[in-house]
């Protein structure tokens, strides 16, 4: 992976996090996206960051996104111990059990607008 691709991926990650922070201004986004929203966040990053993958740590019941040779969740880059590329079975499990406590359609629509701006 070239440095330019890494910089682009990092900027996309930062833009997604900043947009979420602005949308949920005054709310604890770390709590929101670490207690039920981790799969939604990982899937969102996967949507916007080319070549990224969703990863799952079964032991701690947490998922995140793999890109730039690192694993990222709402807090930024995290330790990669125990994470594996999510299988189709893992994805089904996460969709069923990791239920966000926020309006996913509204934030997805807002992100689509912001992410398409230049």
Domain, as residue range, for 18 = 3-115
| pLDDT at res. 2 | 85
| Widest Cα–Cα separation across the chain | 40
Q: How far is CA 72 from CA 80, 113, 118, in A?
A: 9, 23, 24
Residue 69: CB partners within 8 Å, gap ≥ 6? 1
H/E stretch holding 46:
helix 38-48
Domain count, the chain: 1
Q: What is the mean pLDDT of each run of 10 residues along the chain (118 residues)?
A: 90 97 96 96 97 97 97 97 97 96 96 86
| pLDDT at res. 1 | 67
């Amino acid at each position: 992976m070239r440095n330019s691709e890494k910089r682009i991926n990092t900027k996309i990650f930062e833009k997604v996090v900043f947009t979420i922070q602005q949308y949920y201004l005054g709310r604890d986004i770390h709590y929101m996206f670490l207690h039920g929203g981790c799969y939604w966040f990982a899937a969102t990053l996967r949507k916007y960051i080319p070549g990224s993958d969703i990863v799952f740590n079964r032991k701690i019941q947490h998922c995140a996104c793999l890109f730039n040779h690192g694993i990222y969740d709402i807090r930024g880059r995290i330790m990669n111990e125990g994470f594996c590329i999510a299988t189709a079975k893992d994805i089904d499990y996460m969709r069923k059990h990791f239920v966000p406590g926020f309006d996913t359609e509204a934030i997805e629509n807002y992100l689509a607008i912001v992410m398409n701006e230049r």
